[in-house]
Amino acid sequence: MVEITIMQNNNSLKKVLNPAYLMRALLFLIACYIIFGVVTHFSWWLLIEKADIKITSLDPQYWPEYIIVFVLFFLPLLYLFCSFVAKKILPIHFPKLVLYMGCTFFGAMWFEIILDTLFVKFMGEPGWLYKVWPIHQGYTSGVGMFMWPLYGFFVYCMNSAIETNPRLVNINNGAAKTYLYALDAMALEILTNIFSILLYSTYLFYYLPDDLLHFTTIQIFIPYLSACGLGAALSLFLERLKKNHFIIGLSFYLAGVVSLCWLA
């Protein structure tokens, strides 16, 4: 299976260099950006202008409730979406799931700290600031202990869905997954902030660029593309691991928790 995946990735790299393929990818990005713009502007109009929701800071006493509701909302939603993509109810291999969740949390948490630091250095201001349980000047958040493993859950399920559905064979490669996950991340950010404003009158994270009304920004696409490329390479490595999935995943998760405690 790993050898087949490597061959698929090698072939996908050749396809990516094809001008026609690049043009389709660019057009798809433009289409997604337009859709993101419509969704964010409509959401702003509906939530802020029509419903008259006032953006406020969420009191720390409500942070635990926010996290519980967040997980209870997104966990089944992401699973059902991936099952829909797969056209079947996806089975879960728990040790491997823990591996994905732990590694995603540790890697994503440090990536956002490093990336936001680079934003400050080269752009003069952060790319985003967390508004709920902010840590390290708002570059990351304690919510990440739950949000990022949940995203690892999504990646695990989406990988399974793509591998399961024969109609998705053309995107069952590292290059296509990297591109799609970068766009997925932006879409999930928009959904997350809609959820946060609707239920708690706050952003979870506030993007300083305003092209998508601070829900997310096109400026994050290239960094996400890089991060998802690393993630795709990591996924290939994780597929090679035959044992100790639970221990490795738990170790990375605990290392992430310790890192957040150290940064707080």
Q: Is residue 83 predicted with pLDDT exceeding 50? A: yes
Query: Residue 80: how many CB atoms within 10 A of its CB?
Result: 13
pLDDT tens-digit map of 149-192: 999 999 999 999 999 999 998 888 888 888 999 999 999 999 99
Q: Is residue 52 predicted with pLDDT exceeding 70? A: yes
**Which of 8-12, 38-42, 194-198 shows the lowest per-residue confidence on average (mean pLDDT)?**
8-12
pLDDT of residue 15: 62
Q: Is residue 204 predicted with pLDDT exceeding 90? A: yes
Alpha carbon distance 243, 254 (integer Å): 19
Considering only residues 44 and 4, tell me which one the structure prediction assigns the higher pLDDT: 44
pLDDT tens-digit map of 111-143: 999 999 999 999 999 999 999 999 999 999 999
- CB-based contacts of 194, cutoff 8 Å, min separation 6: 43, 47, 215
Closest CA to 22 of 169, 179, 167: 179
In this prediction, residues 22-26 reach a mean pLDDT of 88
Determine the straight-line distance between the first and last CA of the chain, rounded to whole angstroms: 42
Q: Is residue 42 predicted with pLDDT exceeding 80? A: yes
pLDDT of residue 2: 45
Averaged confidence pLDDT in the chain: 91
**What percentage of the chain has pLDDT greater than the value 90?**
78
Which ranges constitute the DSSP H helices of 89-217?
Answer: 94-123, 144-164, 174-200
Residue 61 per-residue DSSP state = G
pLDDT of residue 236: 73
Q: Is residue 5 predicted with pLDDT exceeding 60? A: no
